[in-house]
Amino acid sequence: MNAQKTTVPNLAPVVTIKLAATSDEMLQCFALRAAVFMGEQQCPYDEEFDGNDYTATHIIMYVDGEPAGTMRLRWFQSFCKFERCVVLRRFRGLGIHHEINAWCKEFARRKGYTKAYIHLQKRHLAMMEKEGFRRVDDRTFNFSDHEYYAIYCELKPPEDAVTMTTMPMVVNRPEDRLHEEGVLEKSASRGATNPHVSTERRPN
């Protein structure tokens, strides 16, 4: 038999995940949440934008350059809370929420967290169990018209998790690129000229 080699064009969508680091990227996160929670699930604005957005870390996911998903992370002493996870309707069914979960787990691990914690709509339990999450206890509770379980997952901290003994300038890097030199390390080449010393205070 003469096997013919054909080149199959790579049609897999390009998925990019990053820390929302600019106002535009934050707006994309907020717009996706509004689309899904307010548009599809009839959540009131005040419940969706609950006052915690400016104490949190936002993650944005693109599919072929188009904003497609987001997650909000909040940092407590003993765990990282994953919340407001969204995949836009037309990007569902590709399994890309697994990618955003995995990205966020890695992100939290690198910051030294050993537990990810989620308030999960009951209907999604089986899906999240496959990702290693289990219920904290048997409580159920409800808010914004849905029933929830508290679930968590252990994260194994990597050897290079950030601690107080990590190189100081590594701690200053953009948090989703701790392995790359950051803008402040480049600034170190300017030396410590202490420019404030020559600045006169304007008299009142």
Among 19, 38, 150, 170, binds other proteins (CB under 8 A): 38
Strand-pairing partners, residue 154, are 115
**Closest CB 121 distance from other proteins, rounded Å:** 17
Given 22, 76, 90, 174, the residue binding other proteins (CB under 8 A) = 90
User: Residue 140 in 3-state DSSP?
Assistant: strand
Establish if 59 lies at the interface with other proteins (CB under 8 A): no
For residue 92 the two structure tokens come to 């569902």
Cα 202 to Cα 36, 44, 196, 199, distances in angstroms: 51, 48, 13, 9
Contact flag: residue 49 with other proteins (CB under 8 A): yes
What are the residues whose beta carbons fall under 8 Å from the beta carbon of 67, sequence distance 6 or more? Answer: 28, 31, 32, 60, 61, 88
CB of 186 to other proteins, least distance (A): 24
Judged by CB, which is closer to other proteins: 90, or 134? 90
Binding flag, residue 44, other proteins (CB under 8 A):
yes
User: How many residues does the structure list for the chain?
Assistant: 204
- Does 35 participate in binding other proteins (rule CB under 8 A)? yes
Write down the H helix ranges in 34-84: 45-48
Is residue 141 at the binding interface for other proteins, with CB under 8 A as the rule? no
Q: What residues contact 28, with CB distance under 8 A and at least 6 apart?
A: 20, 60, 67, 70
15 lies in the binding site for other proteins (CB under 8 A): no
CB of 27 vs other proteins, minimal distance in Å: 7
Task: Please tell me the count of residues contacting other proteins according to CB under 8 A.
Answer: 22
Interaction between residue 92 and other proteins (CB under 8 A): no
Q: Which of 17, 20, 25, 32 binds other proteins (CB under 8 A)?
A: 32
**C-alpha distances in Å from residue 203, one per residue of 61, 80, 113, 200:** 50, 47, 48, 9
Q: How far is the CB of 119 from other proteins (least distance, A)?
A: 21
> Which lies closer to other proteins via its Cβ, residue 66 or residue 160?
66
CB-CB contact of 121 with 147 (8 Å): yes
